[in-house]
Amino acid sequence: MRKILLLIAVVCALNASAQTEIDGIMMEKNVFCVGPMYGYSSWKNYWEGTLKRDNENLGTVSTSMFSVMGNYGVTRNLNLLFGLPYVKTKASAGQLKGLKGIQDFSFWIKWKAYSKKFGNGRLSLFAIGGYSMPASSYTADFLPMSIGLESKNLFIRGMADFQLDRWFATFSGAYVRRSNIKLDRDAYYTTEMHYTNEVKMPDALSFNFRAGYRDKGAFAEVVADNWTTLDGFDITRNNMPFPSNKMNATRIGLSFKYPMPFHPALSVVGNGFVTVAGRNMGQATSFAGGFFYVFDFSGKQKKETNKSKK
């Protein structure tokens, strides 16, 4: 449950940034955008398998996250992005100690492979590859207090963005290949005993839909996303969660970016999400906010490609 939460937190943090691997906006060549984000996510109810419940021995489980994210334009059609979050967990009731630490370093390559005008509209297609891996030796085997799921993940994402005047819609889907993880224990039970410290993590699919209004570096959008774990098992009645559980979640939310009128290189960003469906994870509500600053090394005036597209 915690793992899913963390994964979602990472995705969420990226969603909140002005430029992410998962939206239709590209940085121009030699432009670098970077900034801090703070995120807070919490849940009281969770899905034990498909059964929704609360737990007086956890109360509300919260995750605070502080991260740095950046996006560099290698060319106007090829961007590199990274993120590195620090995560802290806490349960408001019960005895379990919250954990904290640097979670997963993530790195993306975002390639706008195709872009064509259709009347007033423009269709762009993207191919995105990403990789994330733990940046510290945290344990995934203490859910829901673990700060992450520990697997190394490879993301292969295809994305389509359609913009009509200043309105846009973006849809993307990713296959997430997850590596095995190693527990501190040398045996564990899932639906059978395993005499090894290694856990096979099921792969996952990630879908994202976002639509809204873009103008001069600002945007406001509605977002819906879904994380579906392929395979994995359900938490049994009153059991603890386990990293290779079948963790699914569907969320809806709002997101925005707004460049400061007095200094357009500086933008404020924010988002909020609610979880509308899930399995083996918390029904999280999350908020995130932060700043992004654009450094232009191109010698030209800073701009984003979508500005010239509109």
Partner 1 sequence: MKKIHLLIITAAVILLHSCSKEISDRSMDYPALQPASQDLNAGTWKPVLLTGPTEFPVPAPIATNTPDYIAQLNEIKSFQANITDAERNSVKYWSAGAVLRWSEILRHLVALHNLPPVANGDGTYPFPNANNPLAYPQFPFANPPYAARAYAYVAAAQYDALVAAWHYKTVYNRAAPYNVDASLNVLIPRSSLPSYPSEDAVVMGVTTELLKLLFPGDQEYIQMKAEEHKRSRIIAGANVRSDLDAGEALGKSVAQKFVTRARNDRAGAAAGNQTIWTQMENDAIARNEVPWISQESPKRPPMLPLFGRVRPFLFDSLTMVTTIRPAAPPSTSSQQFKDELAEVYSYSANPTREQIRIAHFWSDGVGTYTPPGHWNAIASDDFVKQNFSEVRWARNMALLNMAMMDAAIACWDAKYFYFNPRPSQMDPRIKTTTGLPNFPSYISGHSTFSAAAATILGHIIKPNAAHYTALAKEASESRIYGAIHYRSDCVKGLETGNKVGGYAIARALTDGAE
The residues that touch partner 1, with contacts defined as CB under 8 A, are 56-57, 74, 78, 93-98, 109, 111, 129, 131, 137, 139, 141-142, 152, 154, 156, 177, 179-180, 183-189, 192-196, 198-201, 236-240
Residue burial 156-191, b: 16+ Cβ < 10 Å; e: rest: ebebebbbeeeebbbbbebebebeebebeeeebeee
Q: Classify residue 253 as exposed, middle or buried by CB count within 10 Å of its CB (0-12, 13-18, 19+).
A: buried
CA distance 279 to 268: 33
Beta carbon of residue 268, minimum distance to partner 1 (angstroms, whole number):
31
Give 99 or 218: the residue with its C-beta nearer to partner 1: 99
Give 50 or 236: the residue with its C-beta nearer to partner 1: 236
Residue 189 CB contacts under 8 Å (≥ 6 apart), including other chains:
none
Give 40 or 188: the residue with its C-beta nearer to partner 1: 188
| SS3 readout for 136-175 | CCCCCCCCCCCCCCCCCEEEEEEEEEEEECCEEEEEEEEE
Beta carbon of residue 308, minimum distance to partner 1 (angstroms, whole number):
21
CA distance 3 to 242: 9
Beta carbon of residue 61, minimum distance to partner 1 (angstroms, whole number):
13
Q: Residue 204 CA to chain centroid, in angstroms?
A: 13
- Provide the 3-class DSSP secondary structure of residue 234: coil
Give 14 or 223: the residue with its C-beta nearer to partner 1: 14
Beta carbon of residue 219, minimum distance to partner 1 (angstroms, whole number):
26
Give 49 or 289: the residue with its C-beta nearer to partner 1: 49
Beta carbon of residue 33, minimum distance to partner 1 (angstroms, whole number):
19
CA distance 297 to 309: 21
Give 89 or 286: the residue with its C-beta nearer to partner 1: 89
| HSE-up of residue 106 (Cα within 13 Å, Cβ side) | 31
Tokens of 96: 């379990």
Give 203 or 272: the residue with its C-beta nearer to partner 1: 203
Beta carbon of residue 74, minimum distance to partner 1 (angstroms, whole number):
6
Beta carbon of residue 129, minimum distance to partner 1 (angstroms, whole number):
4
Beta carbon of residue 110, minimum distance to partner 1 (angstroms, whole number):
10
Q: Which of 282, 248, 255 is nearest to 176 (CA)?
A: 248
Give 180 or 226: the residue with its C-beta nearer to partner 1: 180
